[in-house]
Amino acid sequence: MKAQIVKTIYIEAARRIDPSHTGDTNYTGNSYRIDLFAEGEIDASIGWVIDYADMKHLFEPVRRQLDHCCLSDIPSLKEDTSPEAIEAWIREKLRPWPAWFAGVRVSLPVPQGFSHVWLVPCEGLGLPERLAFSFSAAQSLPQLPKGHPCRELHGHTYQVEIAAKNHEGMEAACAEVFSRLDNTYLNCLPGLEQATAERIAAWIWKFLMEKKIAPKVVAVQETPNNRCHYRGE
């Protein structure tokens, strides 16, 4: 009896918008989802096709090359950093393929462009009803010591959630936040020279206040495992 299993890994990377230019304003970034596929007979004694740890071990050297970097600085990806090009690059890096290897898929975790949804209150996190949207950008944290991965140029697909005292003007203000931050190198924006999630949340809070929106909380999520809730000073 055959089965297919999937190991999912996320990377956070920057890329050049125009491969022919290297200026700071030419960078953006994304979170990328990488699905590694294995297929084979289900082992009668253990009950699996392959240990997920073995899949992770195979992929780890490749992950280290892709995560928290600028993809455009990888020679084979210099001209093309599309998900399809990254997939082809990964397949070659994983050779010789083990018998269980059945392919790899690279995708962006959320659609590109501005779209928003209203989220119901979350009592567990103490969050009221809020408007959520995502944007993608490059960033680095030069204030961190050498050797820290976040000091290097990389990128994220950020999820932003905003709750306010009233909803009037919220959607238009969030669309403007998106237009200011999406497809940028955040460090080039005044106030975001050290673009931590905390500082991004504070920057959005200030922007909303200037637009006469009275926020109650601004949440910024960099990865599925890391988020900040900011409630003002």
> Residue 109: pLDDT above 80?
yes
Q: Assign a CATH topology to domain 2-107.
A: Tetrahydropterin Synthase; Chain A (3.30.479)
57-86 pLDDT, tens digit per residue, is 999 999 999 999 999 999 999 999 999 999
Q: What is the pLDDT, as a whole number, of residue 37?
A: 98
pLDDT exceeds 80 at position 1: no
Q: What is the pLDDT of residue 25?
A: 82
Of the pLDDT bands very low, low, confident and very high (cuts 50, 70, 90), residue 91 is very high
Which pTM was predicted? 0.91
Q: Is residue 232's pLDDT more than 90?
A: no
What pLDDT sits at residue 24? 78
Q: In whole numbers, what is the pLDDT of the chain averaged over residues?
A: 94
| Confidence bin at 48 (pLDDT 50/70/90) | very high
22 pLDDT more than 80: no
Fold match between domain 2-107 and domain 116-230:
yes
Position 155 scores a pLDDT of: 96
Q: Where are the domains of the chain?
A: 2-107, 116-230
What are the pLDDT digits (tens) for 142-164? 999 999 999 999 999 999 999 99
Rounded Cα distance between 73 and 59, Å, is 20
Which pLDDT belongs to residue 166?
86
Q: 52-66 and 83-93 are packed helices; what angle lies between their axes, rounded to 10 degrees?
A: 120
Q: Tell which CATH classification among 3.40.80.10, 3.30.479.10, 3.40.630.30, 3.40.50.300 matches the domain 116-230.
A: 3.30.479.10
Q: Is the pLDDT of residue 185 over 80?
A: yes
